Amino acid sequence: MAEQAATDLRATYTEASGLRSIASDFSSDRQAFRNVSWGKAMMWIFLLSDTFVFSCFLISYMTARMSTTVPWPNTSEVFALTIGGTSLPLILIAIMTFVLISSSGTMAMAVNFGYRRDRKKTAILMLVTALLGATFVGMQAFEWTKLIHEGVRPWANPWGAAQFGSSFFMITGFHGTHVTFGVIFLLVIARKVWRGDFDHERRGFFTSRKGRYESVEIMGLYWHFVDLVWVFIFAFFYLW
């Protein structure tokens, strides 16, 4: 009886030690993230959650496409543009992709010059990035308008499976919203950089500590994520 009690006590202690070990592992973030600001850590958490959302959208689209018995519309024909009497498949989508990938390069250079504390080059590159992002949104608006005029609706379209319209508007609309918000915040941060808010520690929205251009890097994390998501949308929705 006494041996059984001792065995139960040791098992309880071992379990408690295991729980304390787990709690210790979770509390170790003070060491793991000692040099990471709250802004950057929260952006990574946001991007992780957004990854799950976009993944759900793409998986839902692929499930609908593979399960429907009605033929799926041919994207090369749906997204073709007629230029000079010649139908060019996916030409607009290719240009949109080039513009967005180029904006990722200008954003990377902006972050680089930001940590060099070169205000003018950082601000100019961020404005160029915002301009490229706005161009992308404008071309996406043109694409939406064209398809709506051709009869594409969330519940129907002239070419095949009815799920095509809902998948298209849901995925591209959600991504376009991300790009639009990104352009707005790029303009906000670029204005602060141009005014020297990060050099003079001027108080205000998104103003960091003096001499810290971390907000530019955080904005870059968001923008690169938006560009990366578009690569998956381009591959799975337009090319598949």
CATH code, domain with 141 = 1.20.120.80
Distance between CA atoms of residues 143 and 172, nearest Å: 10
Nearest CA to 14 out of 223, 159, 22, 109 is that of 22
**Domain extent at residue 94:** 37-239
* Each residue's pLDDT tens digit, 213-223: 888 999 999 99
Residues 42 and 157 in one domain: yes
What pLDDT is attached to residue 201? Answer: 66
What pLDDT is attached to residue 3? Answer: 58
- Taken in order 178, 179, 184, 190, the sign of the CA dihedral is positive
Residues 15 and 91 in one domain: no
205 versus 161: which is more confidently predicted? 161
Residues 102 and 112 in one domain: yes
CB 108 within 8 A of CB 220: yes
What pLDDT is attached to residue 15? Answer: 47
Residues 14 and 133 in one domain: no
Going by C-beta distance under 8 Å and a sequence separation of 6 or more, which residues neighbour residue 211?
A: 117, 198, 199
Residues 25 and 45 in one domain: no
Distance between CA atoms of residues 188 and 201, nearest Å: 16
Residues 22 and 125 in one domain: no
What average pLDDT does the structure give for the chain? 86
Distance between CA atoms of residues 201 and 212, nearest Å: 9
Residues 23 and 47 in one domain: no
What pLDDT is attached to residue 200? Answer: 75
If you ran DSSP here, which 8-state letter would residue 202 be given? -
How many domains are contained in the chain?
Answer: 2
Residues 181 and 83 in one domain: yes
Residues 12 and 41 in one domain: no
Residues 117 and 227 in one domain: yes
Residues 54 and 7 in one domain: no
Residues 23 and 131 in one domain: no
For residue 197, pLDDT beyond 50: yes
For residue 2, pLDDT beyond 80: no
- Helix or strand or coil: residue 164? helix
What pLDDT is attached to residue 46? Answer: 96
Going by C-beta distance under 8 Å and a sequence separation of 6 or more, which residues neighbour residue 240?
A: 65, 75
